[in-house]
Amino acid sequence: MNRLNRLNRKQNALNEQIATGQRITMASEDPQAASRVMRLRSEKMAAQQYAKNADTALGFAQASYAVLDRLRMLSDRAGELAVSSNSDTVSFEERKAYAVELNELIKDAIAAGNTKFQGEYLLNGTDTDSASDPFVLFTDPVTKVQTAVRAAAVVNLVATNASATTTLTMTNTSGWLPGMLVSGTGIPAGTRIVSVDTNNQEVTLSTAVTVLANASLSAESDGAAIQISDTLEISPRLGAADNIAVKDFINNMIALRDGLTSNSTPNITTARALLLASGNGLIEILASNSSIQARLESVKAQSASRFNDVEALISRDADVDQAQAMVNLTRQQTAYQAAMQAGAQVLKMSLLDYI
């Protein structure tokens, strides 16, 4: 009977393996294999999530590239207008005609800078769902001078500080965060916020300021990063310095337009040089974006490959070999039937068989 029970249990186990396709149904059946499978399944889920993250990041990077490429095209045309108009032989009427076209290019650049992707601003740092557009045109009420400003930037007035100091006393530290890129009067390029003291309304910068008097500052955040592997985060959106570069490019177009409408050759010459520099800057940002896309494509491929590798390892430990299981089941059934027949023969014996 014990042998029959053992054979029956083996048959039931093989039937369940064949039905479910799983070699292990309980951890107690193979503790080491079960432990490996649990770890591998966790790794498989992580690889799948990282692939999704990389795909999301790639979408934002590609959308950002499209915006940058549009701005580059606008830069090329603005440069052509600057070259065509930068001569004393060009009439004022011709320059005014160029200014009309340039004004449309400026509007197009503002619209491109305010592009959204999946409901989020692309060129707005971490403030992707702001109620205000990142780029707006501002006209000074007194001078009537028009400039493109970053509505997303945090703007404050710095109290009087000694020169060559990294700690500034602010009128308000609301919205200022470590890591933000800071620009303004007397602020060296590339300066970022190191720390913020909300109690004393002080901000510590990475580089010392170079002015004595009060100064107007603006600060911007880099785009939010997305985790695409255990050790790597990538921000597919433009960084703070890139967004400032776009603002400067638009302002250079405005300067050219104003030079054309005022018929000022020196101003046109200056604006032309600035436009050339900002256009080159856009090309550099495009190149950086392309490298980010390449990295994301690579990470996607690696995550997909790792997912398949882990799936194969899980299958090796957890999945049953159906063909072998069928052979084993047939053997167990044959053994079970033989045992049953032997048992039946024993039950048929009587005392007469022993006389």
Tens digits of residue pLDDT in 95-148: 999 999 999 999 999 999 999 999 989 998 877 777 788 888 888 777 777 887
Give the Cα separation of 116 and 139 in Å (integer): 25
Average pLDDT value over all residues in the chain: 80
Please state, in angstroms and rounded to a whole number, the distance separating the CA atoms of residues 36 and 18: 22
Answer yes or no: is pLDDT of 246 > 80: yes
Same domain, 41 and 102: yes
Question: Does residue 314 contact residue 22 with C-beta atoms inside 8 Å?
Answer: no
Nearest CA-CA partner of 181 in 194, 171, 168, 191:
191
| pLDDT recorded at residue 223 | 83
Cβ pair 214, 273 in contact under 8 A: no
Domain of residue 301: give its range. 22-125+229-319
Q: How many residues does the chain have?
A: 355
Instruction: Note whether 197 and 235 are same-domain residues.
Output: no
Residues 241 and 109 in one domain: yes
Instruction: Check pLDDT > 70 for residue 268.
Output: yes
Considering the domain boundaries, does residue 332 fall inside one? no
Q: What is the pTM of this model?
A: 0.74
Tell me the C-alpha to C-alpha distance, in Å, between residue 210 and each of 45, 169, 309, 350: 52, 15, 57, 115
Q: Quickly list DSSP for 89-150.
A: TS-HHHHHHHHHHHHHHHHHHHHHHT-EETTEESSSTT-TT-SS-SEEEEE-TTT--EEEEE
Distances from the Cα of 310 to the Cα of 30, 184, 321, angstroms: 19, 52, 18
Q: Are 72 and 282 in contact (CB under 8 A)?
A: yes
b/e 87-109 (16+ beta carbons within 10 angstroms → b): eeebeeeebeebbeebeebbebb
> Do 117 and 253 lie in a common domain?
yes
* Domain CATH code at residue 309: 1.20.1330.10
What's residue 316's pLDDT? 66
pLDDT reported for residue 217:
74
Least confident of 132-146, 157-171, 281-295, 300-314: 157-171
> What pLDDT is recorded for position 333?
58
Last-in-domain residue among 203, 220, 237: 220
- Asked if the model's pLDDT at residue 292 lies above 90, the reply is yes
Torsion of CA 208, 168, 163, 153, to 10 degrees: 70
Q: Provide the β-strand partners of residue 168.
A: 203
pLDDT higher for 353 or 72?
Answer: 72
Neighbours of 298 (CB within 10 A): 12
**First-to-last C-alpha distance (Å) of the chain:** 26
**Same-domain check for residues 136 and 272:** no
Do the domain assignments include residue 343? Answer: no
Residues 259 and 306 occupy one common structural domain: yes
Do residues 195 and 240 share a domain?
Answer: no
Q: Quick one: 148 and 189 in the same domain?
A: yes
- The answer to whether position 347 is within a domain reads no
CA 232 distance to own-chain centroid: 11
Q: What total number of domains does the chain contain?
A: 2
| 113 shares its domain with 261 | yes
Rounded distance, CA 124 to CA 120, Å?
9
pLDDT classification of 84: cutoffs 50, 70, 90: very high
Is 46 in the same domain as 87? yes
H helices of the chain, in order, are: 2-20, 31-85, 92-113, 240-261, 265-318, 322-348
Range in 144-148, 186-190, 279-283, 314-318 with the lowest mean pLDDT = 314-318
The reply to whether 283 falls in a domain is yes
Residues 98 and 75 in one domain: yes
Residue 86: inside a domain: yes
Instruction: With respect to residue 27, please indicate whether it lies within any of the assigned structural domains.
Output: yes
pLDDT at 207 > cutoff 70: yes
120 and 185 co-located in one domain: no
Task: Find out whether 156 and 170 touch, Cβ atoms under 8 Å.
Answer: yes
